[in-house]
Amino acid sequence: MTVTRKRWIIVGIIAACIAIGLIIWAAINQKSVIKTAVTPQPSPSSSPSPTASASPQPTSVTPPTPTASPIAICKASILQVGLKPDNAGAGHFYYDLSFTNTGSSACSLFGQPTVTLADAAGNQLGTPAEKTASEGAVTVVLAPNDIAHSEIDYPNPAYFQAGACTVPATSLHTIPPGNNAILTVKSNQQACPGWSVEPVKAGASE
Question: Residues 42-93: pLDDT tens digits?
Answer: 555 555 555 555 566 666 667 676 666 789 999 999 999 999 999 888 899 9
**Residue 172 counted as domain residue:** yes
Nearest to 147 by CA among 79, 70, 76, 75: 79
Q: Are 154 and 135 in contact (CB under 8 A)?
A: no
**Residue 49 counted as domain residue:** no
Q: Do residue 95 and residue 166 come from a single domain?
A: yes
**Residue 180 counted as domain residue:** yes
The pTM (predicted TM-score) of the whole model is 0.67
Q: Do residue 18 and residue 114 come from a single domain?
A: no
| pLDDT tier at 37, thresholds 50, 70, 90 | very low
Q: Do residue 118 and residue 20 come from a single domain?
A: no
Q: Do residue 7 and residue 104 come from a single domain?
A: no
Helix, strand, or coil here: 141? strand
Range of the domain at 112: 76-202
Number of compact structural domains in the chain: 2
**Residue 193 counted as domain residue:** yes
**CATH (domain of 89):** 2.60.40.10
pLDDT per position as a tens digit, 82-140:
999 998 888 999 999 999 999 999 999 999 999 999 999 999 999 999 999 888 899 99
